Structure formats: structure tokens, C-alpha cells
């Protein structure tokens, strides 16, 4: 009976209006469904929440608060985690994009048996694998260049990226992030004998190296365009991986490197002829990056980070970073998380 009435309504010009109503109702259902599903997956938060609806809302995001644009923690499985657990045999592993050239972060140590990957990011990846698959070694590491971190996630080459990746509003338009697991800031790295004193006018007529797709390059370009950096500063040298900048510096092809202070300190530990110049001039937070629709995985990683901050984070920091960053410095404690609140 109802089908006959619908067909009758759709006859003639009156049917156009009816069809519009039906289409509007269908569209509303489609738009509301993801919100309903997200609400059903939400778990209890283990930190303060901030106003918001979901992580996709990068349009109202400000970089100063980008690290707060994440979902509350939950232990619940979902389609993303189920797919990871459904892998069989040798493929039953968490696939993680990492660096293999960042000393003390993601570094393939040639002095270990099998040249094993080690570092602060690697420890975190093992912890996530332990929680999701019950085996800390059930992880497949894939070396991903700085410039390919986002595409590797979007293309499904990796489940997540744990690679000193700063949470920004621009990146939130393409991927989802966990709560922050490390706080740092951009700094200048240059030879000890250099006249450069920091991120200031001493960079005039100097050639600076940054990694392609890095927040460092974005900051330099923005500041040079707006007058915050001398217009004569040459920022044209970009490389796929951050370590390549140190090589360029050692070869004398550039005058300085701009990168996260945490990475710069590790590079200075590799080469005693260079040093950090001046203080950090930005505040940035590293997060674990995942696909935008991997809601269950984002929530699970945030739950894992709650436990990791309480037990594991400090031991990893002391092992890998305290010698270069200090035991009582700003980065020596895990940043407190904040989460979006479902609306």
C-alpha cells in the first residue's frame, strides 16, 4: 500500500517535490550514520576532553591546539583492528611506518645482530603491537621517507606511522592522529664554528636544509614570506629524509639545518662538530598517524598511550633521549592528553 502511494506521488511535477523530500531524508540518514557509529564506539576517556564532534573537523582547527583533535581512549575492537587480527601466518603483524636513519628514534643499528631497528619510536611501536596482537615482536617495520608518511597511510601500505610526525591541522585533513606522545620544537643545527646564533637575522644569506613535507619547511617559508625570516635566506634545499640534511651540512653544501629539536639533538650526538643554535622557536607534538576512518584504532592507540605514559614511556626516554635532551628538560616528561568530546 505504501509503495503504491509513493509511486503515485512520484507522477507528474508533484513527484519532483516528493523525490526531493525522499532524497533529503536519505542524505540525512547517510550523514547521521557515521556519528551514530562513532558514538557507539566511544569508550571512557582517561584525560580531559575538549569541545568538538570528531577528528575530521580540521576546518576549525588551530595548530596551537591540533594535538587536542583526537578521540577518547577505548579498548573496544572495531573493523580496523579486526582486520589486523584476521591476518594469518607470517602476515599476522602490525605494519608500522618508521624511520631507519634517525639516531635514537628510528635507527637501524649496524652494530647489532641483524642490524635491528631501535629507538624511542620503535619502543612505542612494539608496545602497540603487544597490546593489539599480544606479541611485541608481531610488527612489520617499513621505512618511510618524511615526504611519504601521509601517502603511505592513505594507500594502505602501513597501518600507522610512528615516525616523529608532528600533529598539525593541515595533516588532520588527510589522516587521524593519536593523542601526543612527545613534545618538542623547531631548532637550528649548524657547525660549532658557524656565525649563526639561532633562528634570527644571522640566517641572512645562509642556505638552510629541511626535509620535504616537514613542518620545518612550512615554518621557514611562512616566516620568509611574512618577514619573520630574512628574505635572503635560501630555503630551496629539501631532502626526502632528515638525515640527508646532516650529510649536506657535513659536505658544506648548506650552512644550517632546521628540524625538530629532538631530532637535531640526536644528530648533534652523531657529529660532535655541530650543535644546536638558540632555543626552540615553535612548540610541536608528535602523534601516531592512522587513516582518518580508523576510529577504533585511534581510540585503541590512545588507550595504549594512557598505560604507556604511566609505565614504559620514561624508561624509553631514559634509554634513548636523556643523554641528548636531559633528564629534567621540557621533553623529559610525556605530554598530557586532551580529547574531543562527541556532540
CA distance linking residue 220 with residue 258, whole number of Å: 9
* Inter-axis angle of helices 120-133 and 295-310, nearest 10: 120
CA distance linking residue 257 with residue 102, whole number of Å: 14
Q: Where along the chain do its domains lie?
A: 63-183+285-325, 186-277
CATH number attached to the domain at 63-183+285-325: 3.40.190.10
CATH topology of 63-183+285-325 equal to that of 186-277? yes
CA distance linking residue 130 with residue 159, whole number of Å: 15
Instruction: Give pLDDT tens digits along the chain (343 positions).
Output: 434 434 333 333 344 343 333 334 344 433 343 343 433 333 444 566 655 445 545 467 888 899 999 999 999 999 999 999 999 999 999 999 999 999 999 999 999 998 999 999 999 999 999 999 999 999 999 999 988 999 999 999 999 999 999 999 999 999 999 999 999 999 999 999 999 999 999 999 999 999 998 999 999 999 999 999 999 999 999 998 888 999 999 999 999 999 999 999 999 998 999 999 999 999 999 999 999 999 999 999 999 999 999 999 999 999 999 999 999 888 999 999 999 975 4
User: For cell 558514538, what's the residue?
Assistant: 39
With H, G, I as helix, E, B as strand and everything else as coil, classify residue 110: coil
With H, G, I as helix, E, B as strand and everything else as coil, classify residue 54: coil
* CA angle at 144 for the pair 143 and 148, rounded to the nearest 5°: 170
CA distance linking residue 285 with residue 215, whole number of Å: 11
CATH number attached to the domain at 186-277: 3.40.190.10
Q: Does the reported pTM lie above 0.75?
A: yes
Amino acid at each position: 500500500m505504501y509503495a503504491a502511494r509513493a509511486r503515485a506521488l512520484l507522477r507528474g511535477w508533484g513527484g519532483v517535490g516528493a523525490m526531493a523530500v525522499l532524497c533529503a531524508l536519505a542524505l540525512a540518514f547517510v550523514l547521521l550514520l557515521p556519528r551514530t557509529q562513532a558514538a557507539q564506539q566511544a569508550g571512557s576517556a582517561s584525560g580531559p576532553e575538549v569541545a568538538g564532534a570528531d577528528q575530521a573537523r580540521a576546518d576549525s582547527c588551530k595548530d596551537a591546539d591540533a594535538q587536542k583533535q583526537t578521540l577518547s581512549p577505548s579498548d573496544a575492537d572495531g573493523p580496523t583492528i579486526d582486520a589486523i587480527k584476521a591476518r594469518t601466518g607470517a602476515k599476522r603483524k602490525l605494519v608500522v611506518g618508521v624511520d631507519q636513519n634517525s639516531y635514537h628514534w628510528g635507527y637501524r643499528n649496524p652494530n647489532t645482530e641483524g642490524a635491528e631497528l631501535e629507538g624511542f619510536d620503535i619502543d612505542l611501536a612494539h608496545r602497540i603491537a603487544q597490546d593489539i596482537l599480544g606479541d611485541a615482536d608481531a610488527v612489520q617495520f617499513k621505512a618511510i621517507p618524511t615526504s611519504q608518511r601521509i601517502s603511505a597511510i592513505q594507500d594502505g601500505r602501513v597501518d600507522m606511522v610512528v615516525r616523529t610526525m608532528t600533529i598539525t591541522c593541515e595533516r588532520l585533513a588527510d589522516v587521524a592522529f593519536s593523542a601526543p606522545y612527545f613534545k618538542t620544537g623547531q631548532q637550528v643545527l649548524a657547525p660549532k664554528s658557524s656565525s649563526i646564533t639561532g633562528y634570527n637575522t644571522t640566517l641572512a644569506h645562509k642556505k638552510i636544509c629541511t626535509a620535504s613535507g616537514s613542518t620545518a619547511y612550512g615554518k621557514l617559508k611562512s616566516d620568509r614570506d611574512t618577514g619573520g625570516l630574512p628574505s635572503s635566506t635560501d630555503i630551496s634545499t629539501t631532502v626526502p629524509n632528515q638525515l640527508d640534511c646532516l650529510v649536506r651540512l657535513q659536505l658544506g653544501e648548506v650552512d644550517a639545518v632546521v628540524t625538530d629539536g629532538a631530532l637535531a639533538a640526536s644528530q648533534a650526538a652523531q657529529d660532535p662538530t655541530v650543535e644546536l643554535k638558540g632555543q626552540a622557536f615553535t612548540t610541536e607534538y608528535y602523534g601516531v598517524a592512522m587513516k582518518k576512518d580508523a576510529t577504533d584504532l585511534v581510540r585503541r592507540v590512545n588507550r595504549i598511550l594512557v598505560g604507556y605514559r604511566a609505565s614504559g614511556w620514561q624508561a624509553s626516554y631514559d634509554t634513548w633521549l636523556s643523554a641528548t635532551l636531559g633528564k629534567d628538560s621540557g621533553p623529559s616528561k610525556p605530554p598530557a592528553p586532551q580529547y574531543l568530546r562527541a556532540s
